[in-house]
Structure 1
Amino acid sequence: MDQQTKPGVVAVVVLGLVQILSWGGSFYLMAVMANPISAETGWSQQWIYAALSVGILVSGLLAPLSGRIIARTGGRVLLAWSGAVMAAGLVIMGLSHSLPLFLAAWVIIGVGMAMGLYDALFATLGTRYGGQARSAITGITLISGFCTTLVWPGTALLIHLLEWRGACFAIAAMLTLLVLPAYYYALPGAALTPRPAAASASAQQSDLAPSRFWLLCAIFTLASVIMTAISVQLITLLQASGYTLASALAISAIMGPCQVGSRLVDVAFKRGHPIWTAFFSVGLVAIGLLLLALFPQFALLSMVLYGAGNGLRAIVRGTLPLAMVKPEAYAVVVGRMARPALIGQALTPLAGGYVFATLGPAATLWLLCALALLNVALVILLKRQLSATPA
Structure 2
Amino acid sequence: MHTIKVPAGIVCALGVTQIVGYGTLYYSFSILAPGMANDLGISLEQVFAVFSLSLFIGGLSAPFIGRYMDRIGAAAVMTIGSMLSAGTLALCAWSPSVAIFALAIVLLEISSGMVQYQAAFATLVESEPRSASRSITYLTLIGGFASTIFWPIAAVLTGYLSWREIYLAFAALNLIVCMPLHCWIMLCARASSKQEGARPREVVIGALEPEARRRGMLLVSLAFSLSGFTLAAILAHMVPMLGRIGLGSAAVVIGSLFGPAQVMSRLINMVFGKSLSPPALAIVSAALMVVGAVILGLSRDWLPGAVAFAICLGLGSGINSIAQGSLPLYLFGSAGYGAITGKMAAARLATGAAAPFAFAAAMTQFGTAISLFVIAALGTLGILAFVAVASSVRRDSVA
Shared topology, TM-score over 0.5? yes
Tell whether the 8 Å contact from 1:53 to 1:346 is kept in structure 2 after alignment: yes
Give yes or no for contact 1:208–1:325 (8 Å, CA) kept in 2. Answer: no
Answer with 307-316 or 89-98: which moved more: 89-98
**CA displacement at 1:206 relative to structure 2:** 5.1
Offset of residue 319 of structure 1: 0.3
1:318 matched to 2:325? yes
Counterpart of 2:292 (choices 275, 288, 305) is 288
Report the Cα distance in structure 1 between the residues aligned to 2:5 and 2:233, rounded to whole angstroms.
35
Q: What's 1:302 paired with?
A: 309
The residue aligned with 1:363 is 370
Report the Cα distance in structure 2 between the residues aligned to 1:92 and 1:184, rounded to whole angstroms. Answer: 23
1:302-328 deviation digits (Å, cap 9, x = unpaired): 211221111101000000111112212
Point out the more displaced range, 184-193 or 248-257.
Answer: 184-193
Residue of 260, 263, 266 corresponding to 1:260: 263
How does 1:112-261 map onto structure 2 within 5 Å? 112-187=111-186, 188-190=188-190, 191-192=192-193, 209-244=213-248, 246-261=249-264
Greater shift, 290-299 or 122-131, is seen at 122-131
Q: Residue 87 of structure 1 aligns with which residue?
A: 86
Find the aligned partners of 2:266 and 2:157 in 1 and give their Cα distance. Answer: 30
Please say if residues 279 and 387 of structure 2, whose CA atoms lie closer than 8 Å, have aligned partners that are also in contact.
no
Q: CA 1:192 to 1:238, structure 2 compared with 1: closer, same or farther past 3 Å?
A: farther
Instruction: Please state whether the residue corresponding to 2:162 is helix, strand or coil.
Output: helix
TM-score (normalizing by structure 2): 0.89
Length, aligned pairs only: 379
8 A Cα contact 1:54 1:103, kept in partner: no
TM-fit CA distance, 1:42: 2.3
Q: Larger deviation: 13-22 or 370-379?
A: 370-379
CA RMSD, aligned part only?
2.2
Deviates more, 1:357-366 or 1:211-220: 357-366
TM-score in terms of structure 1 length: 0.91
Shift of 1:10: 3.3
Where in structure 1 are there 5+ consecutive unaligned residues? 195-204
Asked if 1 retains the 8 angstrom alpha-carbon contact of 2:40 and 2:98, the reply is: no
Q: Percent of pairs identical after alignment?
A: 27
The one-character-per-residue Cα deviations of 1:241-280 (angstroms, maximum 9, x if unpaired) are 2210x21111111111111111011112235311121121
- 329 and 34 in structure 1: CA distance in 2 versus 1, 3 angstrom threshold: same
Give the match for residue 61 of structure 1.
60
Unaligned runs of 5+ in 2: 198-208
Q: State which drifts further: 182-191 or 110-119.
A: 182-191
Query: CA shift at 1:189, angstroms?
Result: 2.9
Which stretches of structure 1, 4 residues or longer, exceed 6 Å deviation after superposition?
A: none
Alpha-carbon distance between aligned partners in 1 of 2:293 and 2:353, rounded to the nearest angstrom: 22
1:6-21 residue pairs with structure 2 within 5 A? Answer: 7-21=6-20
Find the aligned partners of 1:274 and 1:101 in 2 and give their Cα distance. Answer: 42
Change (3 A) 1:272 1:88: same
Give the drift of 1:208.
Answer: 5.7
Q: Is the 8 A contact 2:234 2:356 kept in 1?
A: no
Q: Do the aligned partners of 2:289 and 2:312 also contact (CA within 8 Å) in 1?
A: yes
- CA contact 1:11–1:186 (8 Å) conserved in 2: yes
